[in-house]
Amino acid sequence: MKIVTILGARPQFIKASVVSNALKHAGIDEILIHTGQHFDSLMSDIFFQDLALPVPHHHLNIHSLNHGAMTGRMMEKIEELLLEQELPDWVCVYGDTNSTLAGALVAAKLHIPLAHIEAGLRSFNRQMPEEVNRVVTDHLAQLLLVPTPLAVQCLQKEGVSQGVHLVGDVMMDAILTYKQKAKQTSDILAKYQLRPEKFYLATIHRPSNTDEQYRLSAIIESLATLDYPVVFPMHPRTTAQIQAMDLERYFALNSIIAIPPVSYLDILMLESFCKAVITDSGGIQKEAYILGRPCFTMRDETEWKETVEVGWNHLVQPETLHSAIANFTPPTEAPTLYGNGDAATQIAELFLASS
Protein backbone atom coordinates (compact mmCIF):
# COMPACT_ATOMS: atom_id res chain seq x y z
CA MET A 1 0.00 0.00 0.00
CA LYS A 2 1.19 3.49 -0.87
CA ILE A 3 -0.03 6.65 0.85
CA VAL A 4 0.80 10.20 -0.14
CA THR A 5 0.63 12.52 2.87
CA ILE A 6 0.31 16.25 2.23
CA LEU A 7 1.68 18.63 4.88
CA GLY A 8 2.23 22.34 5.02
CA ALA A 9 1.94 23.81 8.52
CA ARG A 10 3.56 23.44 11.93
CA PRO A 11 0.73 21.50 13.64
CA GLN A 12 0.64 19.02 10.77
CA PHE A 13 4.34 18.22 11.12
CA ILE A 14 3.81 17.36 14.80
CA LYS A 15 0.84 15.11 14.10
CA ALA A 16 2.55 13.44 11.16
CA SER A 17 5.60 12.55 13.22
CA VAL A 18 3.66 9.96 15.22
CA VAL A 19 1.41 8.78 12.38
CA SER A 20 4.33 8.36 9.97
CA ASN A 21 6.10 6.21 12.56
CA ALA A 22 3.00 4.03 12.96
CA LEU A 23 2.64 3.66 9.19
CA LYS A 24 6.27 2.63 8.91
CA HIS A 25 5.86 -0.03 11.60
CA ALA A 26 2.76 -1.30 9.80
CA GLY A 27 4.76 -1.76 6.59
CA ILE A 28 2.93 0.99 4.71
CA ASP A 29 4.86 3.01 2.13
CA GLU A 30 4.39 6.75 2.76
CA ILE A 31 5.41 9.62 0.49
CA LEU A 32 5.53 13.08 2.10
CA ILE A 33 4.69 16.23 0.12
CA HIS A 34 5.53 19.50 1.90
CA THR A 35 3.63 22.33 0.25
CA GLY A 36 5.83 25.00 1.84
CA GLN A 37 2.88 26.84 3.42
CA HIS A 38 4.98 27.31 6.55
CA PHE A 39 8.36 28.09 5.03
CA ASP A 40 10.29 29.79 7.83
CA SER A 41 12.94 27.42 9.26
CA LEU A 42 11.59 28.05 12.77
CA MET A 43 8.07 27.10 11.64
CA SER A 44 9.07 24.13 9.49
CA ASP A 45 12.60 22.70 9.39
CA ILE A 46 13.07 22.62 13.15
CA PHE A 47 10.08 20.30 13.54
CA PHE A 48 11.46 17.77 11.09
CA GLN A 49 14.75 17.81 13.02
CA ASP A 50 13.38 17.62 16.56
CA LEU A 51 10.70 15.02 15.84
CA ALA A 52 12.77 12.84 13.50
CA LEU A 53 10.15 13.23 10.78
CA PRO A 54 11.39 11.85 7.45
CA VAL A 55 12.63 14.44 5.00
CA PRO A 56 9.79 15.22 2.55
CA HIS A 57 10.09 13.50 -0.79
CA HIS A 58 8.74 16.62 -2.50
CA HIS A 59 8.89 20.27 -1.40
CA LEU A 60 6.61 22.59 -3.39
CA ASN A 61 7.86 25.87 -1.86
CA ILE A 62 4.47 27.58 -2.20
CA HIS A 63 3.80 30.29 0.38
CA SER A 64 3.11 33.98 1.06
CA LEU A 65 0.16 34.17 -1.34
CA ASN A 66 -3.53 34.95 -0.99
CA HIS A 67 -5.80 31.99 -0.26
CA GLY A 68 -6.94 31.43 -3.84
CA ALA A 69 -3.51 31.71 -5.43
CA MET A 70 -1.88 29.55 -2.78
CA THR A 71 -4.49 26.80 -2.96
CA GLY A 72 -4.57 26.83 -6.75
CA ARG A 73 -0.80 26.55 -7.17
CA MET A 74 -0.68 23.78 -4.58
CA MET A 75 -3.37 21.88 -6.48
CA GLU A 76 -1.48 22.21 -9.76
CA LYS A 77 1.75 20.83 -8.30
CA ILE A 78 0.08 18.09 -6.23
CA GLU A 79 -1.94 16.88 -9.23
CA GLU A 80 1.19 16.68 -11.33
CA LEU A 81 3.01 14.62 -8.70
CA LEU A 82 0.12 12.24 -8.10
CA LEU A 83 -0.49 11.61 -11.80
CA GLU A 84 3.04 11.47 -13.14
CA GLN A 85 5.14 10.12 -10.28
CA GLU A 86 3.45 8.69 -7.22
CA LEU A 87 0.13 7.04 -8.21
CA PRO A 88 -0.92 6.39 -4.58
CA ASP A 89 -3.63 4.15 -3.15
CA TRP A 90 -4.60 6.90 -0.68
CA VAL A 91 -4.07 10.59 -0.12
CA CYS A 92 -3.86 11.63 3.54
CA VAL A 93 -4.37 15.18 4.83
CA TYR A 94 -4.39 16.74 8.28
CA GLY A 95 -6.45 19.46 9.90
CA ASP A 96 -7.77 22.53 8.12
CA THR A 97 -5.13 24.52 6.23
CA ASN A 98 -4.92 25.55 2.57
CA SER A 99 -2.60 22.56 2.12
CA THR A 100 -5.38 20.33 3.47
CA LEU A 101 -7.94 21.73 1.06
CA ALA A 102 -5.61 21.55 -1.93
CA GLY A 103 -4.79 17.90 -1.26
CA ALA A 104 -8.45 17.02 -0.71
CA LEU A 105 -9.64 18.65 -3.92
CA VAL A 106 -6.94 17.02 -6.03
CA ALA A 107 -7.65 13.58 -4.56
CA ALA A 108 -11.37 14.00 -5.25
CA LYS A 109 -10.80 15.15 -8.85
CA LEU A 110 -8.46 12.23 -9.51
CA HIS A 111 -10.76 9.71 -7.75
CA ILE A 112 -8.06 8.73 -5.27
CA PRO A 113 -9.43 7.74 -1.84
CA LEU A 114 -8.93 10.49 0.73
CA ALA A 115 -8.23 10.15 4.45
CA HIS A 116 -8.72 13.15 6.75
CA ILE A 117 -6.98 13.07 10.13
CA GLU A 118 -8.66 15.35 12.70
CA ALA A 119 -12.01 15.20 10.91
CA GLY A 120 -15.32 16.50 12.25
CA LEU A 121 -14.15 19.63 14.06
CA ARG A 122 -16.47 22.62 13.82
CA SER A 123 -16.31 26.17 15.11
CA PHE A 124 -19.52 27.06 13.21
CA ASN A 125 -17.88 30.26 12.03
CA ARG A 126 -17.69 30.28 8.24
CA GLN A 127 -15.74 33.54 8.38
CA MET A 128 -12.73 31.42 9.37
CA PRO A 129 -10.92 30.02 6.31
CA GLU A 130 -10.09 26.95 8.39
CA GLU A 131 -13.77 26.18 8.91
CA VAL A 132 -14.42 26.18 5.17
CA ASN A 133 -11.36 24.00 4.57
CA ARG A 134 -12.34 21.38 7.14
CA VAL A 135 -16.00 21.18 6.07
CA VAL A 136 -15.12 20.68 2.39
CA THR A 137 -12.43 18.13 3.22
CA ASP A 138 -14.76 16.09 5.43
CA HIS A 139 -17.38 15.89 2.71
CA LEU A 140 -14.81 14.66 0.19
CA ALA A 141 -13.09 12.07 2.41
CA GLN A 142 -13.70 8.33 2.39
CA LEU A 143 -11.87 7.76 5.67
CA LEU A 144 -12.63 10.26 8.43
CA LEU A 145 -10.36 9.83 11.45
CA VAL A 146 -12.08 11.62 14.28
CA PRO A 147 -10.55 12.80 17.58
CA THR A 148 -13.62 13.19 19.82
CA PRO A 149 -17.23 11.99 20.20
CA LEU A 150 -18.40 15.59 19.67
CA ALA A 151 -16.69 15.61 16.27
CA VAL A 152 -18.57 12.40 15.37
CA GLN A 153 -21.84 14.14 16.27
CA CYS A 154 -20.96 17.14 14.09
CA LEU A 155 -20.43 14.86 11.10
CA GLN A 156 -23.67 12.99 11.74
CA LYS A 157 -25.61 16.27 11.76
CA GLU A 158 -24.19 16.98 8.31
CA GLY A 159 -25.19 13.56 7.04
CA VAL A 160 -21.66 12.13 7.08
CA SER A 161 -21.60 8.66 8.63
CA GLN A 162 -19.76 6.40 6.19
CA GLY A 163 -16.06 5.89 6.88
CA VAL A 164 -16.16 7.72 10.22
CA HIS A 165 -13.87 6.27 12.89
CA LEU A 166 -13.36 7.62 16.42
CA VAL A 167 -9.64 7.02 16.99
CA GLY A 168 -8.71 9.71 19.51
CA ASP A 169 -6.37 12.60 18.93
CA VAL A 170 -2.88 12.16 17.52
CA MET A 171 -1.78 15.18 19.57
CA MET A 172 -2.24 13.01 22.66
CA ASP A 173 0.12 10.52 21.02
CA ALA A 174 2.62 13.29 20.33
CA ILE A 175 2.60 14.66 23.87
CA LEU A 176 3.06 11.22 25.38
CA THR A 177 5.84 10.50 22.88
CA TYR A 178 7.83 13.71 23.28
CA LYS A 179 7.15 15.04 26.78
CA GLN A 180 10.04 13.20 28.40
CA LYS A 181 12.42 14.13 25.60
CA ALA A 182 11.41 17.77 26.07
CA LYS A 183 12.30 17.63 29.77
CA GLN A 184 15.68 16.11 28.96
CA THR A 185 16.72 18.34 26.08
CA SER A 186 14.90 21.70 26.18
CA ASP A 187 16.64 24.61 27.90
CA ILE A 188 13.89 27.16 27.21
CA LEU A 189 13.03 27.77 30.88
CA ALA A 190 16.64 28.40 31.87
CA LYS A 191 17.31 30.48 28.76
CA TYR A 192 14.66 33.03 29.72
CA GLN A 193 14.98 32.53 33.51
CA LEU A 194 11.39 31.33 33.84
CA ARG A 195 10.06 29.94 37.11
CA PRO A 196 7.21 27.40 37.15
CA GLU A 197 3.78 29.06 37.22
CA LYS A 198 5.37 32.53 37.38
CA PHE A 199 4.80 33.33 33.70
CA TYR A 200 2.08 33.12 31.07
CA LEU A 201 2.42 31.68 27.57
CA ALA A 202 0.75 33.58 24.73
CA THR A 203 0.37 32.67 21.06
CA ILE A 204 -1.61 35.03 18.84
CA HIS A 205 -1.61 34.72 15.05
CA ARG A 206 -5.11 34.61 13.54
CA PRO A 207 -6.02 37.41 11.11
CA SER A 208 -9.11 38.19 13.19
CA ASN A 209 -6.73 39.21 16.00
CA THR A 210 -3.80 40.65 14.07
CA ASP A 211 -5.19 42.50 11.06
CA GLU A 212 -6.98 45.38 12.82
CA GLN A 213 -4.87 47.81 14.84
CA TYR A 214 -7.47 48.44 17.54
CA ARG A 215 -7.86 44.71 18.13
CA LEU A 216 -4.17 43.85 18.18
CA SER A 217 -3.40 46.90 20.35
CA ALA A 218 -6.02 45.83 22.88
CA ILE A 219 -4.63 42.29 23.01
CA ILE A 220 -1.02 43.41 23.46
CA GLU A 221 -2.02 45.95 26.13
CA SER A 222 -3.97 43.30 28.05
CA LEU A 223 -0.94 40.99 27.98
CA ALA A 224 1.45 43.75 29.05
CA THR A 225 -0.51 44.46 32.23
CA LEU A 226 -0.88 40.94 33.64
CA ASP A 227 0.52 40.04 37.06
CA TYR A 228 3.35 37.89 35.65
CA PRO A 229 5.53 38.22 32.54
CA VAL A 230 4.15 36.83 29.29
CA VAL A 231 6.34 34.65 27.08
CA PHE A 232 5.21 35.38 23.53
CA PRO A 233 6.64 33.21 20.70
CA MET A 234 5.97 35.46 17.73
CA HIS A 235 4.37 34.10 14.59
CA PRO A 236 5.89 35.86 11.54
CA ARG A 237 2.49 37.38 10.70
CA THR A 238 2.11 38.80 14.20
CA THR A 239 5.63 40.21 14.18
CA ALA A 240 5.02 41.97 10.87
CA GLN A 241 1.74 43.46 12.08
CA ILE A 242 3.19 44.68 15.38
CA GLN A 243 5.98 46.43 13.50
CA ALA A 244 3.63 47.90 10.90
CA MET A 245 1.28 49.22 13.59
CA ASP A 246 4.11 50.58 15.75
CA LEU A 247 3.08 48.52 18.79
CA GLU A 248 6.60 47.64 19.88
CA ARG A 249 6.39 50.22 22.69
CA TYR A 250 4.46 47.67 24.77
CA PHE A 251 7.46 45.35 24.74
CA ALA A 252 9.70 47.97 26.33
CA LEU A 253 7.86 47.39 29.62
CA ASN A 254 9.67 44.04 30.03
CA SER A 255 6.35 42.43 30.89
CA ILE A 256 6.15 40.73 27.49
CA ILE A 257 9.06 38.50 26.54
CA ALA A 258 8.89 38.39 22.74
CA ILE A 259 10.80 35.42 21.34
CA PRO A 260 11.07 33.76 17.91
CA PRO A 261 8.90 30.72 17.11
CA VAL A 262 10.09 27.76 19.16
CA SER A 263 10.43 24.04 18.60
CA TYR A 264 7.77 21.57 19.65
CA LEU A 265 9.93 20.38 22.52
CA ASP A 266 10.29 23.95 23.78
CA ILE A 267 6.58 24.68 23.48
CA LEU A 268 5.82 21.54 25.48
CA MET A 269 7.98 22.85 28.30
CA LEU A 270 6.42 26.31 28.18
CA GLU A 271 2.92 24.82 28.19
CA SER A 272 3.76 22.44 31.03
CA PHE A 273 5.16 25.06 33.42
CA CYS A 274 3.27 28.30 32.67
CA LYS A 275 0.59 29.67 34.97
CA ALA A 276 -1.86 29.69 32.05
CA VAL A 277 -2.00 29.71 28.26
CA ILE A 278 -3.45 32.65 26.32
CA THR A 279 -3.99 31.79 22.67
CA ASP A 280 -6.05 31.91 19.51
CA SER A 281 -4.58 28.64 18.24
CA GLY A 282 -6.75 25.56 17.99
CA GLY A 283 -4.14 22.95 18.81
CA ILE A 284 -2.62 24.79 21.76
CA GLN A 285 -6.00 24.89 23.52
CA LYS A 286 -6.01 21.13 23.39
CA GLU A 287 -2.37 20.75 24.40
CA ALA A 288 -2.95 23.01 27.40
CA TYR A 289 -5.81 20.77 28.52
CA ILE A 290 -3.82 17.57 28.13
CA LEU A 291 -0.96 19.10 30.12
CA GLY A 292 -3.28 20.36 32.88
CA ARG A 293 -2.92 24.09 32.22
CA PRO A 294 -5.76 26.64 32.23
CA CYS A 295 -6.38 28.17 28.82
CA PHE A 296 -7.87 31.53 27.88
CA THR A 297 -8.79 31.60 24.21
CA MET A 298 -8.91 34.99 22.50
CA ARG A 299 -11.77 34.08 20.18
CA ASP A 300 -15.57 34.11 20.02
CA GLU A 301 -15.80 30.37 19.45
CA THR A 302 -13.67 27.23 19.45
CA GLU A 303 -13.64 23.91 17.63
CA TRP A 304 -12.51 22.31 20.91
CA LYS A 305 -15.78 22.90 22.77
CA GLU A 306 -15.26 20.02 25.17
CA THR A 307 -12.38 21.89 26.85
CA VAL A 308 -14.76 24.77 27.56
CA GLU A 309 -17.51 22.48 28.78
CA VAL A 310 -15.25 20.89 31.43
CA GLY A 311 -14.11 24.31 32.65
CA TRP A 312 -10.43 24.34 31.67
CA ASN A 313 -10.77 26.66 28.68
CA HIS A 314 -12.46 30.07 28.65
CA LEU A 315 -13.34 32.20 25.63
CA VAL A 316 -12.25 35.78 26.34
CA GLN A 317 -11.83 39.20 24.79
CA PRO A 318 -8.95 41.59 25.55
CA GLU A 319 -11.10 43.53 28.00
CA THR A 320 -12.21 40.38 29.87
CA LEU A 321 -8.86 38.58 30.05
CA HIS A 322 -7.81 39.98 33.44
CA SER A 323 -11.08 39.18 35.17
CA ALA A 324 -11.24 35.70 33.63
CA ILE A 325 -7.78 34.89 34.96
CA ALA A 326 -8.49 36.42 38.39
CA ASN A 327 -11.74 34.49 38.78
CA PHE A 328 -10.50 31.16 37.45
CA THR A 329 -10.83 28.21 39.82
CA PRO A 330 -9.34 24.93 38.58
CA PRO A 331 -12.01 22.26 38.14
CA THR A 332 -11.67 19.26 40.40
CA GLU A 333 -11.58 16.88 37.44
CA ALA A 334 -10.01 16.71 33.99
CA PRO A 335 -11.69 13.81 32.19
CA THR A 336 -9.92 12.00 29.36
CA LEU A 337 -11.14 13.72 26.20
CA TYR A 338 -8.63 12.80 23.52
CA GLY A 339 -8.04 9.08 23.75
CA ASN A 340 -5.30 6.96 25.26
CA GLY A 341 -2.39 7.83 23.02
CA ASP A 342 -2.89 5.06 20.45
CA ALA A 343 -4.61 7.07 17.71
CA ALA A 344 -1.71 6.69 15.27
CA THR A 345 -1.71 2.90 15.67
CA GLN A 346 -5.46 2.77 15.06
CA ILE A 347 -5.04 4.93 11.94
CA ALA A 348 -2.41 2.57 10.52
CA GLU A 349 -4.66 -0.42 11.21
CA LEU A 350 -7.57 1.25 9.43
CA PHE A 351 -5.43 1.86 6.36
CA LEU A 352 -4.40 -1.81 6.33
CA ALA A 353 -8.02 -2.89 6.70
CA SER A 354 -8.97 -0.77 3.68
CA SER A 355 -6.55 -2.56 1.34
**Catalytic residue IDs:** 205
Walk across the sheet containing 230-233 and list its strands.
256-259, 230-233, 200-203, 276-279, 295-297, 313-315
Give a three-class secondary structure readout of the chain: CEEEEEECCHHHHHHHHHHHHHHHHCCCEEEEEECCCCCCCCCCHHHHHHCCCCCCCEECCCCCCCHHHHHHHHHHHHHHHHHHHHCCCEEEEECCCHHHHHHHHHHHHCCCCEEEECCCCCCCCCCCHHHHHHHHHHHHCCEEEECCHHHHHHHHHCCCCCCEEECCCHHHHHHHHHHHHHHHHCCHHHHCCCCCCCCEEEECCCHHHHCCHHHHHHHHHHHHCCCCCEEEECCHHHHHHHHHCCCHHHHHHCCEEEECCCCHHHHHHHHHHCCEEEECCHHHHHHHHHCCCCEEECCCCCCCHHHHHCCCEEECCHHHHHHHHHCCCCCCCCCCCCCCCCHHHHHHHHHHHHC
